[in-house]
Amino acid sequence: MTGRQGDRESEAIVVSSFKNPEAALNIPWAGVDQWRQVNQQYVLLIETYTGQLEPLQAIADSITADLSALDPIMEALCAKTCSHCPDPCCIGAKIWYDFNDLLYLHLAGEPISASQLICTRDQICPGWTPTGCRILRQRRPWICTWYLCPAQTAQIEHPEHTTRMLISSHSANIKTNRRQMEEHFIRMLTSV
């Protein structure tokens, strides 16, 4: 196999992983080999397209900035609600890294975990501890920061609550940037 053929096959696998409708029903890359392969493919693609990555890296930097700004805000909110929570969401949640989470982690140069967060639906997220998540915010799936439980929503109920406005603004930036990152990446892979 030539290097270019290998590159094209890697592109096809990543694109089809993203577009596969089954992905919504199954935990993606749950096997150790699948996880290793998909991450090798991201590394290979990023190396292959290194000269075209500047816009993507700018988007990833912007996501990092918004996540960093959100972290103390979310930690303060969690401090008010999570320590006495009767039913911690992370125990029951079925959370895994998706296509954009992994793309962001690779572009941002963050270390990649040894496996998908959970490999079966009966597992508890390994990030959970009784005192909070042990995974740095930038390295968590985006949904972990995006999600506000009812107790947290109640804390910032007023539409002009400063915390609510800050969360809303940073989250909107991240959502837009994740969408643009995905679109730009797919366009880059599929352009001839």
Binding footprint of ligand SF4 on the chain (CB under 6 A): 78, 81-82, 85, 88-90, 93, 95, 125, 127-128, 133, 135, 140, 144, 149, 151-152
Please give the DSSP secondary-structure letter assigned to residue 130.
Answer: T
Nearer to ligand SF4, 135 or 166 (CB): 135
CB of 170 to ligand SF4, least distance (A): 17
Query: If we measure between CA atoms, which residue out of 176, 174, 189, 178 comes closest to residue 53?
Result: 189
User: Cα separation of 116 and 98, whole Å?
Assistant: 9
* 18, 186 Cβ separation under 8 angstroms: yes
Tokens of 42: 């991201």
Q: Considering beta carbons, is residue 174 or 189 the nearer one to ligand SF4?
A: 174
80: its two tokens: 């008010």
Q: How far is the CB of 81 from ligand SF4 (least distance, A)?
A: 4
| Contact assessment for residue 131 and residue 172, using Cβ atoms and an 8 Å cutoff | no
- Report the nearest approach of ligand SF4 to the CB of residue 72 (Å): 16
Quote the distance between the C-alpha of residue 75 and its chain's center. 18
State the nearest-atom distance from the C-beta of 122 to ligand SF4, in Å.
Answer: 15
